[in-house]
A and B are shown apart, each in its own frame.
Chain A
Amino acid sequence: MIEVKGVSYSYSGVTALRDINLRINKGEAIAFMGPNGSGKSTLLKLINGIISPDRGIYTFNDEEITRKKLADNKFAKHFHQQIGFVFQNSDTQLFCADVFDEIAFGPRQMGLNETEVETRVNDCLNLLDIQDFKDRPPYHLSGGEKRKVAIACVLSLNPEVLVLDEPLSGLDPRTQRWLVEFLVHLNKSGKTIITSTHDLALVHEISNRAILFDESHTIAADMPSSNLLEDIELLKRVNLVDLHYHN
């Protein structure tokens, strides 16, 4: 479904990704892990077509995604409908007057009739348990509520792949637990889930495969998430845990 071959990317000469090779199959739940600045968010941006690789090939559903193709209006819109991106900072994702309009933004653009739009919005509101906020402006919500609205906005497009940049950060334990359960359900219902996270305790719950980045911006390991915590030496080597860390 998603294939990244020999991809490198740099921001004004500063390397963010170096020779990344990766294949993600439909229905997988993947977690990108690694220390800050190792390139996780950059790869998520690349997968979502926000940036294009300096070198290498990115393929989605057997079609190479290039800057030229993304410049084609229709192609880009279809591509963005298939991959939904939940930003790390939910504030950046919310710009409509109220939560209902925010969730309806995508479906309305897709040309669905208003009844269908309403059904989708209400389903998303129920699914994320945010029915009470539907008439409230998004900027008046708490961090966890904003995160839920941001996820609802993306889900209403019914993407094949859901990409979440550090979805658990800044949430209270209860909301974290709820979100983990929710992502498990979405994955079981057939959605491909790609997340970036630092949460070692929850990574085996939100993913079945972990991809570990190191500080040289390459992939240090690609392994089942359940095995990740057992390899403490590896976690120490990539600077994800401190020297005194133990299970």
Chain B
Amino acid sequence: MDNRETEIIDIPQWLLRDQQYNPQSDRDTFINKSILSLLAVLSRIKARSTGKAKKYSVQAAFKVACTLVLVVLLSLSGNFTFVIIINVYLLAVLSSMEAKEIVKILKISCATAFFTFIILVPAVLWGNTYSSIMITSKVFATVTAVSILSHSTKWTDITSALKRFFVPDIFILVLDITLKYIVMLGDFALNMFYALKLRSVGRNRSKYTALSGIAGTLFIKSKEMAEEMYYAMECRGFTGEYHVYSNFKFTIADFAYIVIHIEIFILFLYVGRT
């Protein structure tokens, strides 16, 4: 540091003394819980936004369409064999994924199926065992199918795929921006909670005032960011129309994927309807 003379600044005496401070204990679990939950959401979004396209190289548009068809066929089907075949197919697809993802997806699917079954226990007691097992299996298959789609496809690809279904471009833009701002505002909120935690050095009698302050600041920040982004878009020639472009290349993986789902559809026509 320079030894040159600087402008005289009067440092107050209390700032020159060592602070003798013995903090009182306080309950501030809500800050830690908020930090943990924000971290969990952000890392989940970041993990789902990167690094999947290469491994599961089927076009997102096909995945979205086929998953939708599969879910519709499952809900229309009255045949238990068909539902079981779909479950086996989905588990086979699942087994090709990474162990961490398999565990995540199975956790969600099993939990949902379990709670569905709990709700259906009265029906089982009244003798509707077949329908209850059927509904539970359908729920398991539906949740697994959707989870495989969401875990194996980048969210930005899913929103781009919507273009193939004639969803207006402006709606896709809104979805893309929403995803982006969830991450940006999430990061901002996380830093605010860190700051609150670092400055919470004693007993805070009005914890919720600080929390409402964070919510208010986030609101103002999101408004500012939205305005700035709109101005930036205007400067780049945005006139209210937005075009989504995608590099569409039909691959063997796409072909195989479509063939499998056509077979599933044929299977539904022959055995699944009854």
Contacts and interface: CB of A to CB of B under 8 A. Distances in A.
Interface in B7-44: 7, 9-12, 14-19, 21-28, 43
Contacts of B15: 123, 127, 155, 158, 189, 191
A111 interface: yes
Given A85-B198, A91-B217, A208 B9 contact: no
Given A139-B220, A187-B1, A80 B197 contact: yes
Interface centre among A49, A82, A109, A126 (most CB of B within 10 A): A109
B101 to A, nearest CB: 14
A141 interface: no
Interface in B183-217: 188, 191-192, 194-204, 209-210, 213-214, 216-217
A45 B217 CA distance: 22
A127 B12 contact: yes
B217 A94 contact: yes
A80 B217 contact: no
The number of chain B residues touching the other chain, given as a range, is 35 or more
Given A123-B12, A139-B220, A184-B1, A48 B203 contact: no
Contact of A139 (B191, B192, B217): B217
Contacts of B98: none
B164 interface: no
Contacts, number: 140
B46 interface: yes
A136 interface: no
B48 to A, nearest CB: 12
Contact of B217 (A85, A95, A123): A95
Interface stretch (A16-24, A71-79, A168-176): A71-79
Contact of B18 (A97, A160, A185, A208): A160
B201 A185 contact: no
Nearest to A181: B6
B20 to A, nearest CB: 10
A110 B11 contact: no
A81 B196 CA distance: 12
Interface string B61-92: 00000000000000000000000000000000
A205 B1 contact: yes
B221 interface: yes
B260 interface: no
Contacts of B216: 95
The number of chain A residues touching the other chain, given as a range, is 35 or more
Contacts of B43: 12
Given A155-B15, A157-B199, A225 B47 contact: no
Nearest to A85: B198
A223 interface: no
B220 A184 contact: no
Given A73-B28, A109-B202, A109-B204, A78 B191 contact: no
Given A73-B28, A95-B196, A157 B201 contact: yes
Given A123-B12, A127-B10, A184-B2, A77 B201 contact: yes
B225 to A, nearest CB: 11
Nearest to B1: A208
B200 A109 contact: yes
10 contacts: A48-B198, A50-B197, A50-B198, A73-B28, A81-B19, A95-B196, A96-B209, A109-B202, A123-B15, A158-B15
Interface of A: 12, 29, 45, 48-50, 73-74, 77-78, 80-82, 84-85, 87, 89, 91-97, 105-106, 108-111, 119-120, 123, 126-127, 139, 153-155, 157-160, 181-182, 184-187, 189-191, 204-208, 225
Given A77-B26, A106-B202, A109-B204, 9 more contacts: A80-B197, A84-B198, A92-B195, A95-B214, A111-B202, A123-B14, A155-B15, A182-B9, A185-B11
